[in-house]
Amino acid sequence: MLNRHFLRGKVLQELYAYYISQDCDEKQHEKMLLDCINKLYNLQIYLLSSLLEIRDIAENQIEDAKNKFFPTEEEKQPNTKFIHNPIFKLLEENKTLVDSIKEIHINWREERDLLKNIFNKFKKSDSYNTYMHKENSDFEDDKKIVYQLFKNYVIKNESLYELLCEKEISWESDYDYVCQVVLKYLKYLKSAEQIEQIKQEGQEDADINELPKPFNKINDNQIETDEQFTKNLFYNTISHSDEYEPLIKNRIEHWDRDRLAFLDVLIIKMAMSEFIYSPIIPIRVTLNEYIELSKEFSTEKSKLFVNGLLDKLVVDLRVSGKIQKIETSEDNSNQDNITE
């Protein structure tokens, strides 16, 4: 679910909190870091469950119209194409999703009017009406309309955003990212027929249509899980911080160490930890990642400073033999790709 660029950002934020707080309990901050990341899974469940609730709202509207004293012919013979969309069936048959909804105790009863307003706006859209009147729709059409509902109406609804952020304040900064994860999940859903074909071709994958987890499983190009990577980066930066100080001071000619931006130094120390203690991640990947973090979290001038200093430190660490990278058959920089 979460790419390593995002995880690096979370580690940076927790390291910052660790150093500025009076509480230097590493285990407690590790727990806070992992809890924050794992709670993003709950946000994903809330968003997917909202789609099922909207489907139920659409079905209730059809039933209410049928039960009027004087229903129209259209209301007597309603178009049920949307409520029978197979994407909803895939979601409601997903045991992990259903179990998670129960575990989190998600109930949209009090917010039903909010979701009803979303659906009523969606019903007026050209995409909805085109879909409802199109003959011989295929699975891609079914997937596309749910994707459009989620992308253009659900996640753009300010009231829904505020409601979810009230449930967990940390979701405010991560909402857009998790929405992109859910969009990608919807985009690549497979029908039962497609899954069967994949199995017949000998490409059976137990995780087809499974919900993305906060931490990915280990793959052939990794020697540590994403969770291990996150914890190791956090602890190595703290444990070796003092060792990095003289190396940094030796490379900041004409700079007063005490006047350097604290976040810049923290970013540099994280990068040094990754250079040394993540042997399978290419140097260029680490360089690019921490330059990006400096742009996201620090000052306007940080990019140039971090870039220049890390280039020099890489040379020093190589000469001293501290950087020992493991060669792999593939460039594993794909583990750092930003989620679509």
* pLDDT, averaged across the chain: 90
Residues 140-167 have pLDDT tens digits of: 999 999 999 999 999 999 999 999 999 9
pLDDT of residue 160: 97
Q: Which residues, 6+ apart, have CB-to-CB distance to 139 below 8 Å?
A: 86, 191, 193, 194
Decide: 238 and 273 in contact? Cβ < 8 Å: no
Q: What is the CATH number of domain 226-336?
A: 1.10.940.10
42 pLDDT higher than 90: yes
pLDDT of residue 217: 66
Give the pLDDT band (50/70/90) at residue 339: very low
Whether pTM exceeds 0.95: no
Give the pLDDT band (50/70/90) at residue 257: low
pLDDT of residue 255: 62
Between 40 and 203, where is the model more confident?
40
The first and second tokens of residue 71, run together, are 């229903």
pLDDT of residue 332: 45
234 pLDDT higher than 50: yes
Residues 62-88 have pLDDT tens digits of: 999 999 899 888 889 999 999 999 999
pLDDT of residue 260: 76
Mean pLDDT of 264-278: 97
The residue ranges of every structural domain in the chain are: 4-200, 226-336
Closest CA to 274 of 219, 245, 313, 305: 313
Which residue is associated with the tokens 């130094």?
Answer: 265
pLDDT of residue 337: 43
DSSP state of 150: I
Mean pLDDT of 94-107: 96
333 pLDDT higher than 80: no
Between 238 and 255, where is the model more confident?
238
Mean pLDDT of 232-242: 97
What CA–CA distance (Å, rounded) separates 208 from 189? 8
Between 333 and 162, where is the model more confident?
162
Q: What percentage of residues in the chain have a pLDDT greater than 90?
A: 74
Mean pLDDT of 255-283: 88
328 pLDDT higher than 80: no
Residues 207-224 have pLDDT tens digits of: 678 998 888 765 545 568
The crossing angle, in degrees rounded to 10, of helices 26-66 and 4-20 is: 130
- The widest CA-to-CA distance across the chain, in whole angstroms, is 86
What CA–CA distance (Å, rounded) separates 289 from 325? 17
